[in-house]
Structure 1
Amino acid sequence: MATTRRTFLGLTGAAAAAAAGITPAFARDSATLYIGTYTSAGGTGIGLASYDATSGAITATGVLTGVQEPSFLIADPSARFLYAVNEQTDGGVTAVAVDAPGKLRVLNRQSTGGSAPCHLALVADGKYLVSANYGSGDVAVHPVNADGSLAARTDLVKHVGAAPHAHQVVEDPTGQYILSVDLGTDTVYTYTIAAPGKLTETAQAKLETGAGPRHLAFHPNGRYAYVANELDSTVVPCEYADGRLTPGTPLPTAPANSPQNYPGEVIVSADGNFVYVSNRGHNSIAVFAISADGATLTRTATPSTGGDWPRHCAIDPTGTLLLVSNQRSNSITTFHRNQQTGTLTPAGSFTTPSPVCTLV
């Protein structure tokens, strides 16, 4: 992986729909954990572990080697397949079969046609995998075959603007639109997709100049989304309707006089009551209470992650455990989550090389 602004920030100092026609082979095992890593920074592939939602303890169970730079992972809802980015100069996406929970097998890899893909999503009822190429600032489309493998790329759409850096792709709650968040152009682009896997841009939403939008997460009601801005350390509540975002007032994710801070991940609790943002630099999780209608956020706490450079965070299926990937300190920390108050209480810490994503 070439050293760029994003890899310098990360390395210094140390899923949406099932593929059509597939019947689930088994229920998703909520005790299985898959770990995305940088193989150029000590990782050896996709990490495998189990976890206890009650205690917060994580136990290593193995690794799937042979997958390079799998820095972001998703699963299809059937639990039979995983998909990983290969965040390399010659970017790719890898399809992985889950023969049983924690037992993985590489199906194939396809080129994204761009560089440093860092995010992906299944869209259109699992017919396509879309990926965001950070380095080249474009979005790639790959059809998903019936066996879970990936067909050849059918589209590659460049974001319009100076120095684009596509950082996320996400399907909206209606399944009608795909949103791509671009850190370089301070823009969220909206697309539709149609056979044979072609994207059509339908809208753009501009964030403040220099904000550096990184990721967004939707409220369960589908009428609001929350955009985490990496470069100005803010989160922005946005109204959403018919593929169009309307940004509101940015809110700081870290306290005043904090060290220079770069938000990493933004997630929303399943009940729509809380937003969590990982703060790289302040090394904390910003906890925001959401108003009843989803329109406003109020920051309530910024507890330490107990590690360095929390690139990613995720809530487990029980809703009671939050997992944080601390990239620079080579640790995943866990927190008990109070579902009524949103409060986080430290639960455990697990050492593993270069964790940058947890899939639970």
Structure 2
Amino acid sequence: MKILVTGAAGFIGFFVAKSLVNKGHEVVGLDNINDYYDVNLKYARLNELGIQREGAQAFNQLTESTTHSAFSFIRLGLEDREHLPKLFTAQKFDVVCNLAAQAGVRYSLENPEAYVDSNVVGFLNILECCRNYKIKHLVYASSSSVYGLNEKIPFETTDAVDHPVSLYAATKKSNELMAHSYSHLYGFKTTGLRFFTVYGPWGRPDMAMFLFTDAIVNDKPIKVFNNGKLERDFTYIDDITEGVVRIIQKPVTEQLKEKGDFKIYNIGNSKSVKLMDFITAIEESLDTVAKKDMYPMQPGDVEKTWANVDDLIADYDYRPNTPIKEGVQQFVEWYKAFYKS
């Protein structure tokens, strides 16, 4: 298949694009390479995919020769309503995997406009292109943050998600609603994936795994929110990637057709890990005890996440299962090699 992967210079997008190429698909990666975090890490990911920094061209700089390989890359923002349709016209995608978004819960308190531009306006533009260019299947990233203040554990996709506690979560909930309406109105398949606390090599510098490791290595205290009384369903990047790729590759079976063109899955490790146990795993991998500064609960945060993945097991025979200690060790080894620490 010919597949568009948006957010291809990002953490999850990089791994999904790499896996799809390895499975023989033709992948066009798209990313605006914004400066929310260090762009050098984004370009390093692209380099792993065979794209040199000077080759990360904007859409209007492309030539025919740059878009006919197993992986090609285009620098473009989803909110660009002029050039995005031109990309769809030129490339004739079979499937779209939308992983591009303005990420981060806490940053949404400081810069809300970025979330509306990328996550709402950008997603609408993706939906319009899928409708107008007859895309068979749109797979898109949602988030466990949509569960907000839900108290029933574990979280199920059938739960009401009407109480988001951050603008980021609200934009992801809006994506699901928008996808539902487009599937209903125009009859193309949309599949939303609620990711649960993804971690692993090449991870984002604003995420706990990276922040904790970086602070410990540099002999700085780590910030522990809610005095450590947090639990997360930490999910290793390889498990997330496998789930996304299975859903992209699997044809729409009669079983799934009966469930309609709109579907949502949780992708999580089906286990809630205490934050302090997560920190302990990092300390053991680094053979160093962290200096800990305790902080109160932060706005937009939730105390606990935990995924029910029964639908994923039933429809795709898949369940993420990487143990936390193994995943943490893999990240620490990557961090040491990449930053030569």
Mark yes or no: TM-score above 0.5: no
Give the number of the structure whose residues are more often helix, by fraction. Answer: 2
TM-score after normalising by structure 2: 0.29
TM-score after normalising by structure 1: 0.27
Give the number of the structure whose residues are more often strand, by fraction. Answer: 1
* Larger gyration radius, structure 1 or structure 2: 2
Flag the structure with more relative contact order, 1 or 2, with Cα contacts below 8 A and sequence separation at least 6. 2
